[in-house]
């Protein structure tokens, strides 16, 4: 499974850019799966109990809704994917396969509310309130929660878990670091020594004085009440309307401080080797084994805290697991399809190139999910670095926008199973319709492309071979960057090269491995060596602002080195407002400004496939989910 999580980026408040350096995501392997309509009826559950969406003026959010699990008729499930986890430590993993496993064993305060991407249900939190100014979130925790080893969960443990992520400072920590910090910058700092010295199950008065100090990011009020004070992170003193979305991610999950302490404790800016491959969580599954490069096996937690709750006290995110054993194998595409066909595997990840093969397998359900699921995996676009002089000319960038046959790309690269879009808000996500109102995706018109190139002062060629502005400058050849580890990017690059050459723009294809590619793409500044290339973005958490900030506020090579103070201020407005109309207008302003200046050439978003045996059901699709790339938790999965 290719990485779902996006690259790190810092929210810019005003005009101050704070750069967060992030380790590169692992190599892109497979094209994201997409599919045509299938004749089989989808067995993915799409209705869930309702929870109230949080707002800054809400006083409390009740999150316990009744769930009646269906009966179990089989005890194991075999899942097959392409890539194994990068780590099993919630504070470290930054790829979809790692998040998938972590989400089954560890738990956080909240989770997406069923299929919703804008409302949430409580997991370790029973309910919560938000201050009118959106700066303070108070969580009231469930009592009786414990880890699989019997150690209790409480507010002190949650305090430890959040600060552990921030102090370890690994790739995903920026997600919390936008709004939270281990220091208040004046007179209070939590360090590794602090975390390693506290008794979280029976804290002393001195311990409590640290955890209950009011002027810090995470404040304990009582054993089952904890407060998050926004404003200490690099966003500055400002609310963040996607804060709950950030808490659904693994680095906000609860870890057992006694287990961490027994295996090396917390060390600033370092990982923990034991936590890398071992897991002790509060969740419905436990880790049985991880055979690196081969498989991970999860088994039901026999000591799960929610086993004794009544159906009326459950929601989908905490209900006990139905299937006893989940085994995830990591195999080639060919092996995965063969195992699905033979019945060895019940769920697989598969690339779009094999859609027709999957359609022909009896007893298999192939569902093309809504485009939001494709967007959560990858949105593709061209960057044009304006450090390369020709790209400083708007006419040149506009000419390139007309030179590309977008629908042809989708047909040839994705077998027609994708959509052209206008960014930076991804298609299918909240506010996309409002952000793109009145705009149409960039159009293919090679005649106009040549005319614009000639108008910009360059020698250009019409589709019929006629040269216009023959005395104009010859457009200088340049390197076109993409990763050779991606079939999607490789095929798209070859097509785009031919189309640009056709109008008189000579392109030299320059493929790199993903590690090399990401080392260039996520560098701040300009790249004269690779002034154009194919870039993509994958979500860090399911919110439109995640994409907008990443694309407009970093000045990376992959975003054309683009930084504009007006755009930045609109992005800050979209991130900090709780008024839907204000947010939509800010996104619309950003979209129109980038669209008119051809800052990036938005290419396509592939669809995403759910592939499983016909008798497997209960998956609750949500773009935030890492389970097979499209659902959060395996606890609801069962056989018909």
Q: How confident is the model at residue 48 (pLDDT cuts 50, 70, 90)?
A: very low
How far is residue 493's CA from residue 84's CA, in Å, rounded to a whole number?
28
Section 403-413 average pLDDT: 97
3 state SS of 409: helix
C-alpha–C-alpha distance, residues 19 and 7, integer Å? 12
Do residues 550 and 613 both lie within one domain? no
Q: Are residues 117 and 199 in the same domain?
A: yes
Distance (Å, rounded) from C-alpha 423 to C-alpha 565? Answer: 18
Average pLDDT, the chain: 90
Same domain assignment for residues 574 and 522: yes
The answer, yes or no, to whether residue 155 has pLDDT greater than 50, is: yes
Average pLDDT of 91-95? Answer: 97
Assess if residue 452 is contained within a domain.
Answer: yes
For residues 480 and 507, what is the distance between their CA atoms, to the nearest angstrom?
A: 6
Helix (H) or strand (E) holding 467: strand 467-468
**Per-residue pLDDT, 16:** 30
pLDDT of 633 higher than 70: yes
**pLDDT tens digits, one per residue of 282-341:** 999 999 999 999 999 999 999 999 999 999 999 999 999 999 999 999 999 999 999 999
- The CA distances from residue 185 to 163, 188, 235, 435, in Å, are 15, 7, 14, 37
Q: Within a domain: residue 15?
A: no
Q: Which pLDDT belongs to residue 56?
A: 52
Is pLDDT above 80 for 6? no
Task: Kindly tell me if the per-residue pLDDT of 527 is higher than 60.
Answer: yes
Contact criterion met (CB below 8 Å) for 3 and 23: no
In the predicted model, is pLDDT for residue 177 greater than 90?
yes
Indicate if the pLDDT at residue 55 is higher than 70.
Answer: no
| Domain assignment present for 456 | yes
Distance CA 281, CA 304 (A): 10
Phi, psi of 528, deg, nearest 5 = -80, -20
Q: pLDDT-derived band of residue 600, with 50, 70 and 90 as boundaries?
A: very high
- Look at residue 227 and tell me if it is in a domain: yes
Res. 564 pLDDT band, cuts 50 70 90: very high
- Range 498-502 contact pairs with CB under 8 angstroms and sequence separation of 24 or more: 499/403, 499/404, 499/405, 499/446, 500/400, 500/403, 502/403, 502/446, 502/461, 502/463
pLDDT reported for residue 54: 43
β partners of residue 509: 480
C-alpha span between 405 and 495 (Å, rounded): 9
pLDDT of residue 5: 52
Identify the CATH number of the domain in which residue 477 sits: 3.10.105.10
pTM > 0.85: yes or no: yes
**Residue 560 falls inside a structural domain:** yes
Please tell me the distance from the alpha carbon of residue 235 to that of residue 597, in angstroms, as a whole number. 27
Question: Could you tell me the residue range of the domain that residue 460 belongs to?
Answer: 374-606
Collapsing DSSP to helix, strand or coil, 238 comes out as coil
User: From CA 431, how far away is CA 426, in angstroms rounded?
Assistant: 9
In a domain, 217, yes or no: yes
d(CA 434, CA 422): 12
Q: How big is the chain by its Cα radius of gyration, in Å?
A: 25
Give CA–CA dist 451/469, Å, rounded: 9
379, 450: one domain = yes
In CATH, what number is assigned to the domain containing residue 627? 3.40.190.10
Per-residue pLDDT at 427: 98
Please state the rounded mean pLDDT for residues 268-274. Answer: 98
465 and 323 together in one domain: no
**Residue 528: band (very low, low, confident or very high) from pLDDT cuts 50, 70, 90:** confident
For 484-516, write each residue's pLDDT tens digit: 999 999 999 999 999 999 999 999 999 999 999
Q: Do 509 and 594 fall within a single domain?
A: yes
How confident is the model over 432-457, as pLDDT tens digits? 999 999 999 999 999 999 999 999 99
Instruction: Clarify whether residues 384 and 320 are in a common domain.
Output: no
In a domain, 165, yes or no: yes
Distance CA 330, CA 347 (A): 12
Shared domain check, 615 and 524: no
Contact 289, 295 (CB under 8 A): yes
**What residues does 368 pair with on adjacent strands?**
609
Confidence of residue 230 (pLDDT cuts 50, 70, 90): very high
Per-residue confidence (pLDDT) for residue 452, from 0 to 100 = 98
Do both 590 and 628 map to the same domain? no
Rounded mean pLDDT, 103-111: 98
Q: Which long-range contacts (CB under 8 A, 24 or more apart) does 139-144 make?
A: 139/109, 139/225, 139/226, 139/227, 139/228, 140/60, 140/224, 140/225, 141/109, 141/224, 141/225, 141/226, 142/224, 143/224, 144/305
Q: Is cis: bond before 424, omega within 30 of 0?
A: yes
Band of the pLDDT at 12, cuts 50, 70, 90?
Answer: very low
Q: Is residue 12 part of a domain?
A: no
The tens digit of pLDDT for each residue in 235-260 reads 999 999 999 999 999 999 999 999 99
How many structural domains does the chain have?
Answer: 2
Same-domain check for residues 292 and 381 = no
φ, ψ at 179 (rounded to 5°): -120, -15
Q: Are residues 391 and 452 in the same domain?
A: yes
Is residue 306 located within the same domain as residue 432? Answer: no
């Amino acid at each position: 499974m290719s990485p779902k999580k996006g690259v790190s980026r810092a929210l810019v408040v005003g005009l101050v850019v704070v750069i967060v350096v992030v380790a590169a995501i692992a190599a892109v392997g497979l094209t994201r799966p997409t599919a045509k309509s299938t004749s089989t009826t989808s067995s993915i559950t799409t209705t869930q109990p309702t929870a109230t969406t949080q707002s800054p003026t809400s006083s409390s959010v009740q999150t316990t809704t009744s769930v009646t699990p269906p009966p179990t008729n089989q005890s194991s499930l075999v899942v097959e994917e392409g890539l194994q986890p990068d780590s099993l430590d919630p504070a470290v993993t930054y790829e979809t396969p790692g998040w998938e496993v972590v989400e089954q064993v560890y738990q956080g305060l909240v989770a997406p509310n069923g299929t919703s991407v804008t409302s949430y249900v409580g997991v370790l939190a029973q309910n919560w309130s938000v201050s009118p100014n959106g700066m303070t979130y108070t969580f009231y925790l469930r009592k009786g929660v414990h880890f699989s080893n019997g150690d209790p969960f409480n507010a002190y443990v949650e305090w430890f878990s959040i600060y552990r992520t921030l102090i370890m400072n690994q790739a995903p920590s920026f997600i919390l670091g936008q709004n939270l910090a281990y220091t208040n910058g004046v007179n209070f700092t939590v360090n590794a020594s602090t975390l390693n010295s506290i008794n979280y199950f029976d804290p002393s008065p001195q311990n409590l004085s640290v955890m209950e100090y009011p002027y810090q990011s995470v404040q304990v009020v009582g054993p089952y009440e904890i407060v998050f004070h926004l404003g200490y992170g690099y966003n500055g003193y400002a609310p963040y309307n996607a804060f709950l979305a950030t808490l659904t991610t693994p680095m906000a999950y609860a870890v057992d401080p006694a287990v961490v302490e027994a295996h090396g404790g917390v060390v600033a800016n370092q990982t923990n080797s034991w936590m890398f491959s071992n897991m002790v969580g509060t969740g419905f599954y436990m880790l049985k084994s991880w055979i690196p490069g081969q498989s991970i096996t999860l088994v039901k937690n026999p000591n799960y805290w929610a086993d004794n709750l009544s159906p009326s006290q459950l929601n989908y995110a905490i209900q006990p697991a139905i299937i006893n054993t989940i085994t995830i194998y990591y195999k080639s595409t060919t092996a995965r399809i063969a195992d699905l066909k033979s019945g060895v595997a019940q769920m697989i990840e598969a690339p779009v190139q094999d859609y027709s093969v999957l359609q022909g397998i009896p007893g298999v359900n192939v569902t093309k999910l809504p485009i939001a699921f494709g967007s959560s995996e990858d949105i593709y676009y061209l960057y044009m670095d304006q450090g390369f002089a020709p790209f400083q000319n708007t006419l040149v960038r506009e000419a390139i926008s007309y030179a590309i046959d977008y629908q042809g790309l989708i047909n040839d690269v994705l077998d027609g199973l994708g959509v052209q879009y206008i960014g930076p808000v991804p298609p299918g996500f909240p506010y996309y319709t409002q952000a793109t109102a009145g705009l149409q995706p960039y159009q293919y018109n090679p005649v106009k492309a040549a005319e614009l190139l000639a108008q910009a002062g360059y020698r250009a060629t019409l589709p019929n071979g006629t040269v216009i502005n023959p005395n104009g400058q010859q457009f200088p050849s340049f390197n076109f960057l993409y990763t050779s580890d991606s079939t999607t990017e490789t095929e798209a690059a070859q097509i785009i090269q031919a189309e640009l050459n056709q109008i008189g723009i000579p392109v030299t294809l320059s493929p790199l491995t993903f590690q090399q590619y990401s080392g260039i793409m996520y560098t701040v500044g300009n790249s004269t060596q690779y002034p154009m290339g194919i870039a993509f973005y994958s979500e860090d958490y399911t919110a439109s602002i995640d994409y907008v900030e990443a694309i407009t506020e970093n000045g990376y090579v992959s975003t054309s080195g683009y930084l504009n103070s007006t755009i930045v201020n609109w992005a800050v407005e979209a991130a900090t407002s709780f008024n839907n109309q204000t947010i939509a207008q800010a996104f619309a302003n950003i979209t129109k400004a980038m669209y008119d200046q051809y800052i990036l050439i938005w290419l396509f978003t592939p669809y995403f496939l759910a592939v499983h045996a016909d008798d497997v059901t209960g998956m609750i699709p949500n773009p935030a989910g890492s389970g097979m790339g499209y659902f959060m938790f395996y606890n609801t999965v069962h056989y018909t």
